[in-house]
């Protein structure tokens, strides 16, 4: 059994991670650390797992008791953690924060559809951002074929869980319900990793991404739309996407328009590509807490340990 430890276990992403790992046939939880919830049973914070475990949150942690460590603390805390701790030889790490998405300090960027081979031999993986996952999976086939053209207009709407478990003015139910708003227009932090990776595939001959993030009036999911010039015809565009994702475990080209209910509570990304005149319109849908966070973290762990990539992740969508 793979022994897993979690740092920062009280948030939404950690809750989803715990749920997956408790039902993963190859994993046992060694510890779940939380400074704010130390001493409590996991189910006192993550009530949906009541009856599945009597494990309690720990204040401290023994890194030698784990084979893989998931870092689920706030952005910036991962670097602080490694300033205070030494990684034992052989301990694999999956960081769900943004600290190492620039692939510094030996981390590999953990988007399997982009670099599965590197992940397989990595000791440290930086899990992608949620918006970054949906938008990159929308555009990777075109970038890999050097077919990005001009500026790319992207908008993506996310559920309230994307803002984390701590309440704020824009996550309060009475504000979010029946409401929608834009934020961080053209400045969202995920643009850095999106641009870096797309230009790694196609360095030149295209402009920039104009990304408008939107807050949705729902809890889970991301629905992204990208519009750009494209020289391919409809059939060629469809074939490009279908072939690019033919061997992907969780990302699929969808021949019909996608929606959130097809992916919420799963680790899937569904991508639909169509032509309108000279423009390609690419839509993608993911669950922001699963393929956009904890599900992809487990997918990366599976690849790192040579397991079936789908282990623990055969999940049913909330279609009705």
Residues identified as active-site: 130
Q: Where are the alpha helices (DSSP H) in 23-157?
A: 42-45, 77-84, 112-120, 130-144
Query: For residues 275 and 36, what is the distance between their CA atoms, to the nearest angstrom?
Result: 50
CB-side exposure of 216: number of CA atoms within 13 Å? 16
Query: For residues 180 and 155, what is the distance between their CA atoms, to the nearest angstrom?
Result: 13
Strand partners, 157: 214, 223
Cα distances (Å, whole numbers) of residue 183 to 30, 125, 145, 168: 39, 28, 32, 14
Q: What is the CA radius of gyration of the chain?
A: 19
Could you give the 3-state DSSP secondary structure of residue 286?
Answer: strand
Spatial contact of 90 and 68, defined as CB atoms under 8 Å apart? no
């Amino acid at each position: 059994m793979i022994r897993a430890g979690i740092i920062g276990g009280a948030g939404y992403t950690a809750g989803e991670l715990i749920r997956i790992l408790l039902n993963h046939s190859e994993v046992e939880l060694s510890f779940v650390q939380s400074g704010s919830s130390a001493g409590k049973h996991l189910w006192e914070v993550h009530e949906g797992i009541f009856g599945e475990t009597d494990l309690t949150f720990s204040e401290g942690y023994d890194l030698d008791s784990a084979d893989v460590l998931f870092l689920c603390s706030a952005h910036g805390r991962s670097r602080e953690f490694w300033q205070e701790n030494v990684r034992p030889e052989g301990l694999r790490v999956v960081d769900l924060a943004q600290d190492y998405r620039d692939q510094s300090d030996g981390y590999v960027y953990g988007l399997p559809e982009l670099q599965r081979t590197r992940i397989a031999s990595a000791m440290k993986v930086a899990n992608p951002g949620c918006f970054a996952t949906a938008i990159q999976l929308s555009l990777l086939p075109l970038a890999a074929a050097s077919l990005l053209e001009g500026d790319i207009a992207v908008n993506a709407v996310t559920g309230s869980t994307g803002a984390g478990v701590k309440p704020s003015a824009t996550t309060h139910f009475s504000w979010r319900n029946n409401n929608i708003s834009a934020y961080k227009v053209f400045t969202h932090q995920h643009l850095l990793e999106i641009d870096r990776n797309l230009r790694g595939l196609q360095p030149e001959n295209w402009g920039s991404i104009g990304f408008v993030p939107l807050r949705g009036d729902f809890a889970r999911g991301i629905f992204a739309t990208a519009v750009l010039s494209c020289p391919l015809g409809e059939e060629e565009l469809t074939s490009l996407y279908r072939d690019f994702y033919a061997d992907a475990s969780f990302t699929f080209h969808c021949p019909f328009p996608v929606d959130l209910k097809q992916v919420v509570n799963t680790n899937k990304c569904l991508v639909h590509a169509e032509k309108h005149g000279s423009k390609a319109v690419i839509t993608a849908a993911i669950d922001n807490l699963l393929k956009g966070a904890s599900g992809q973290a487990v997918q990366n762990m599976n690849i790192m340990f040579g397991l079936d990539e789908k282990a623990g992740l055969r999940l049913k969508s909330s279609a009705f």
